[in-house]
Structure 1
């Protein structure tokens, strides 16, 4: 099929219609009257051979075809925006969406300061978070992500740009009233306790804590595996279980989750967190501004007082 057969200007209207699911709001966004937007929708239905939006009670719903169109269409528009912003980027005038892959505990540290800066400097800019997985470098290279903030991965450094952000250490956490644990914990006591452990749900996934235990030759009983760090402190409430967690998160949640924080009974190498992005994005003014904003937010939150 030749693109010349299609009015590509209609795609701007389509993207707004599928996001808003409302003819009036979509028309307002693209500068068209309600009648002109309705006429554009008729042309789009003919172009795609599909209703795209159908009445469902008092609301419009997407058809299956429209649901499959929306995400790639948004991605195309974001890439076009990057092309148009290549020589100049004005945060105050941008409506670009940046996509970041990281972990929930890192996001928790970044978000307040990052959102404050976005609200002030780039009020129409948005951020979409996704949790890091074993596809994160492929997603960076295919422009599905703008930035990844993850533990150091030396094998990928030749393919990507990177910057060190902060380090963190492992600690043992347990309930304040744990019957066997005082102010310290030795190896034997640690191995007797049921363990709560972070692990993503994909083949070959092992978190930093699990790798550190393997290196130390420890094989405790794992009572619970969770896919989010933020679940761990609260899962220990009223139990004999213990967990290994990053100190920054443990200290932040210790009071609310009624935790005691202890030094691990084995040598653990501090976790080093890096930002990764593609070489093609490195000189993009919009990307440069955004990674500066998010890196500054991370460093401000993790600065040693």
Structure 2
């Protein structure tokens, strides 16, 4: 309520300044007053700091972190909720140790709910039969909903949700109904060294956010361009494109750049990559990850 009132007052002040500027007598007074108000607003804006100390929604209440012992990386607070519906669930977390020398795959997940232009993009890292999904999202307080407009104005903190695929993928394929989501899973090509650099970059940032929170931003720090910034660690990374800003086109762009392998057209690849039906059939099965990847094994 206070934010709305202040925004309304600033809008009124801008209108008054515009009227004053259009009159010769008060032009410079109006310009000076509005500039002073703008400077005060900018100073106040710059003093707003992100925080990890808020009353969070249950889905983002627990921050993950990683500890290191050579090539062994223990990831703490891996989310694995037991869902009955999208909003009715039992929170659960676990810790697991991963051997960096066994990291052999990275898959890209694209979830669509509002047409072809916008998708939520996240990566899942494969260590043999084990897969660890990491979704970069806006961390919302208990009373907040998500708004792309609010995401420009320091309304949400940034969070890397580290989760079991039976959580981060299955909640989207099996439980989200309003609106439903179409989920696609693509295998990303890359050398073992490149995959390791990206994974270690994720782990470093996850630990940094636990100590020094940052704001989410709809344009500059969202799910897709933050992934792209992680890939800049690697030689030969894809150049930035408007297809990263319009995240729904990111899989097609990666296919154009040869990062989703050669072979079929993107349309054929996309049709095979749609995993909703396989996820429905797998549901809570222990081999959920292998069953949703049946298309990656077929010729």
TM-score by length of 1: 0.27
TM-score by length of 2: 0.27
User: Quick check: which has more Rg, 1 or 2?
Assistant: 1
